[in-house]
A and B are shown apart, each in its own frame.
Chain A
Amino acid sequence: MGQPARKNEVQVFPKVCLFVGPRKESLSSTEMKRHGLGTVVWFFVGAFFIQAVANGWMFFNYSKSSDDYYHKRAALLRDRTPTKSAYPKNMVILGSSRTELGVNAPLVENTIREKLTRDFAVINFSVTACAQETELLYWNRLLNECKAPDMALIEVHPAFLNTKAGGDGVEFNSVVWPVERFLRTDINYVENRAPDVRPNIRAEWTKMAFFSFYKNRTSLLNSAFPALVPNEFKGQVSILDKHGQLIIQDELLTSERKAKAMDHTREQYYHLVQEMDLKSSRTRALRELLQSCRERNVAVGMLLMPEGQQFRSWYGPGVWARIENHLQKLAGEFGAEIFNTHDWMDESEFKDSHHLYQSGALRFTRRLTDEKIMPWVLGREKKLAAN
């Protein structure tokens, strides 16, 4: 009688680990405890294993970051650049929200295609809260991931060239750039550019990498089941067209809301354009970007986006001339073009004296393409053909 019981006791360990559970209505108290122990142990083993596998997979295979907005556009550039066409084949537009809303990439592309009578891809990489440091980071990413584009239209935001707009790497603050937005390959760049803003970026990123499956869950979910991601967290990736252009329909602001928007713009920019010290890290970033383009024989156009009369009136005496001078020097040094459209548009075309309405953006793009971009593209084509 005693022997089977002893046998059971000896088998406690295997029972715990591979407990298959008796096929009966209810378990005895001891069996319940064993079952509980087995379940809890297997739960911890399983949770650890799943996390390890998921994060390991993310670390080695998932090359994307949560910056879907960029990744989708990079994929578009790769997919849409014609393979069997003559040079130039493509153009990227780098810039801030001004360009994101104000330059209509489909219109630019269609006009170029019509004039060249062949395929050509224009992808808009502009993004909110972006200035030269982000442009340079995006440029570096593009060089790593894709072939260097043939032409680059680079917005130069005059206010951000000012040292007062922030110290080194201020664009990479954690609000705009949560750690999961960075790629592994961005870390060196950010370490060098933003030593004060993100002093622990490597440690932050490594820590994030251990939980990257969790940290990037919204991005992963957005790829698999976009319907389950709240609109506010989809980013604008869901409303990008095949040119990387935001598809938006903006409403005309009431005078009250426009006044509020103007106040906000003034608060943000007035002090930055009153005086100009052009020794900022962004000025250095712009120089590096131009240098990199020249090394790769990429044609560069520096675009000064239009501003409303009110915005323009905030510039201190001689400030605009200094900016123009500075850009002229850079253009001369690196063989770049300058597209100065500063006073092209009327105040009524803007929401807040520097972001264009869609209607204004179309008018602006049409003129920009006809007067600046087309001659630049044709000149480029001629130059390449001559070579």
Chain B
Amino acid sequence: MHFCSVAYLLFFVFIFSAYWLIPSNKIRNYLLVVASFYFYATWNSWLAVLVVASSSLDFFLAIQLEKSSKSGIRKAYLTASILANMGLLCYFKYANFFLESLKEVLGKLGLETHFSFLSILIPIGISFYTFEAISYMADVYKSKIFAEKSLPNFLLFILFFPHLVAGPIVRSRDFLPQIRKTKKWNWSRMHLGLQMVLMGLFKKLVIADRMAFYADPVFADPDGFRQGALWIGMIAYALQIYGDFSGYTDMAIGFAHMLGFKLTKNFNMPYLAVNISDFWRRWHISLSSWLRDYLFIPLGGSRGGLWSTCRNLMITMALGGLWHGASWNFVVWGVIHGALLVCHKLFMRFSENWLIMQNLLLTRVGTGFRMALTFLCVSLVWVFFRAQNFSDAISFLRGLFLPHAGKAEPMNAVGLVLVIFLITVAHMFGVKKYWQSVYQKIPAPVLGLAYALFLNFCLFMAPPVGKPFIYFQF
């Protein structure tokens, strides 16, 4: 059951109606816990039980941690929780990857191995909710928050269905107070929720799913397509993954708004980033801030010298890459992003004394150049993220720069140009914050009918076969 399905629509309408008809906040929360469990169980009921069990363990460990005043015991509870969460993550997501890698290494050393790989189903969204649980435990350990005393409330924090499978990664200090607060029906909030859901639908159906038709065939057979088709495929994938993931997040935020919850912002026009550091402040914000707070800073952050900062950046980004999936491609993707961040840091140091260059880069042309360069770098690195394996990624990149014969692009490029145009217009609105200031002035009937037209446009443009959300696999 995903956000763009009729099953989800019916599910949400039922839960939404029941939720607002129930007067008690406590019972509303119970309803949301049950609904979230059901939502997850539609994929796999045993894995839903597993998520509840691991969350319950974190709940009890946090209470014990808070009760204890001895540093050693507190550390032991924290370690136990982290080990349990990371253990689950490693077992379900990385066990086969490690075994496969070990087998390959031993094979290269000439040692014969007879590993049998585990036949396991990866629980959807495991990377998201384990990170939420770990951040909760770390915050309780650092006494930044009090441990939650109500199990249903804690379960709702982890399981809340709009963010359960693909984020945004919510922080307990933001979300738990919202759970405790009694929500009141608010039409302007419903309006906001509707806006977000429509925007998410547009990004998913009109941008991401359509871009997939340019990207998928090219990434499936990079050697078979000519240079131009590869460039189109690469740009299309950059737009696809943005539309897909930020579309999901927008819908998640919208649905949460309709239930009276505010989820954290996850994207802020990332392709307008002027450098790679800026990109990571705009892309998957909830993950990058999590990595910053719970990995980069504990590793030492920027507190040491240049060398240790660069080392911490590389470690953080490599692990961030691995977080995305159990494949060396993701690790390489993370490492290259780490290297780009390091290069940017070094460049900033280097250009400190070059005022002329700095001024040049700050002009409109310079800003445009920086944006284009960042987009190009990010798009090139996406190749590792998307390619089926490392050798495919290399041949894709080789094909991008070396002219060769092959098939033409899989679809007329007009669609891509149209999508780029739509995204550019939307970003111009976004940069100027034009929409926020103007929509209140539009008469409600006009605005409502425009939304209705927009919804029908999205449905009309939806491709014949829907694609699953990319981040569901993480």
Report whether chain A binds chain B: yes
Interface positions of A (Cβ within 8 A of B): 16-21, 23, 25-27, 29, 32-47, 49-51, 54, 213-214, 217-218, 220-221, 226-228, 230-233
A50, B190: Cβ atoms closer than 8 Å: no
Tell me whether A46 and B449 are in contact in the complex, defined as CB-CB below 8 angstroms, given that A40-B187, A54-B456, A230-B463 are known contacts: yes
A33, B186: Cβ atoms closer than 8 Å: yes
Tell me whether A51 and B441 are in contact in the complex, defined as CB-CB below 8 angstroms, given that A32-B188, A227-B414, A230-B411 are known contacts: no
When the two chains form the complex, which single residue of B192, B447, B451, B460 contacts A214, counting CB atoms closer than 8 Å? Answer: B460
Tell me whether A19 and B443 are in contact in the complex, defined as CB-CB below 8 angstroms, given that A33-B186, A39-B451, A227-B412 are known contacts: yes
Asked if B362 lies at the interface with its beta carbon under 8 angstroms from chain A, I say no
B448, A42: Cβ atoms closer than 8 Å: yes
Q: How large is the interface on B (under 10, 10 to 19, 20 to 34, 35 or more residues)?
A: 35 or more
Q: Looking across the interface, which residue of chain A has its beta carbon closest to that of B190?
A: A40
B399-458 residues at the A interface, CB under 8 angstroms:
410-412, 414-415, 418, 437, 440-445, 447-449, 451-453, 455-456
B189 contacts across to A, CB distance below 8 A: 36
* Cα–Cα, bound, A325→B187 (Å): 77
A18 to chain B, nearest CB (A): 7
Tell me whether A42 and B441 are in contact in the complex, defined as CB-CB below 8 angstroms, given that A36-B189, A218-B464, A227-B415 are known contacts: no
B444, A38: Cβ atoms closer than 8 Å: yes
A50, B452: Cβ atoms closer than 8 Å: yes
Asked if B344 lies at the interface with its beta carbon under 8 angstroms from chain A, I say no
B202 to chain A, nearest CB (A): 15
B444, A16: Cβ atoms closer than 8 Å: yes
Tell me whether A32 and B440 are in contact in the complex, defined as CB-CB below 8 angstroms, given that A47-B456, A233-B464 are known contacts: yes
B464 contacts across to A, CB distance below 8 A: 217-218, 230, 233
When the two chains form the complex, which single residue of A33, A49, A50 contacts B187, counting CB atoms closer than 8 Å? Answer: A33
Asked if B459 lies at the interface with its beta carbon under 8 angstroms from chain A, I say yes
B448, A39: Cβ atoms closer than 8 Å: yes
B449 contacts across to A, CB distance below 8 A: 42-43, 46
Interface positions of B (Cβ within 8 A of A): 186-192, 194, 210, 213, 410-412, 414-415, 418, 437, 440-445, 447-449, 451-453, 455-456, 459-465
B460, A213: Cβ atoms closer than 8 Å: yes
Q: Looking across the interface, which residue of chain A has its beta carbon closest to that of B198?
A: A43
B102 to chain A, nearest CB (A): 34
A220 to chain B, nearest CB (A): 8
A32 contacts across to B, CB distance below 8 A: 188, 440
* Cα–Cα, bound, A49→B445 (Å): 13
A39, B414: Cβ atoms closer than 8 Å: no
Interface centre among B190, B210, B447 (most CB of A within 10 A): B447
When the two chains form the complex, which single residue of A20, A21, A37, A230 contacts B410, counting CB atoms closer than 8 Å? Answer: A230
A36, B187: Cβ atoms closer than 8 Å: yes
Q: A47-B451, A227-B412 are in contact. List 6 more A-B contacts (CB 8 A).
A: A37-B444, A42-B451, A43-B448, A51-B456, A214-B462, A228-B418
* Cα–Cα, bound, A323→B415 (Å): 51
* Cα–Cα, bound, A233→B414 (Å): 16
B185 to chain A, nearest CB (A): 10
A37 contacts across to B, CB distance below 8 A: 187, 191, 444
A51 contacts across to B, CB distance below 8 A: 456
B453, A35: Cβ atoms closer than 8 Å: no
* Cα–Cα, bound, A36→B415 (Å): 34
A218 contacts across to B, CB distance below 8 A: 463-464
B191, A36: Cβ atoms closer than 8 Å: yes
B456, A17: Cβ atoms closer than 8 Å: no
Q: Looking across the interface, which residue of chain B has its beta carbon closest to that of A226?
A: B412
When the two chains form the complex, which single residue of B210, B441, B455 contacts A47, counting CB atoms closer than 8 Å? Answer: B455
A275 to chain B, nearest CB (A): 39
* Cα–Cα, bound, A17→B446 (Å): 11
By Cβ-Cβ distance, the 4 closest A-B pairs, closest first, are: A42-B448, A38-B444, A46-B452, A36-B191
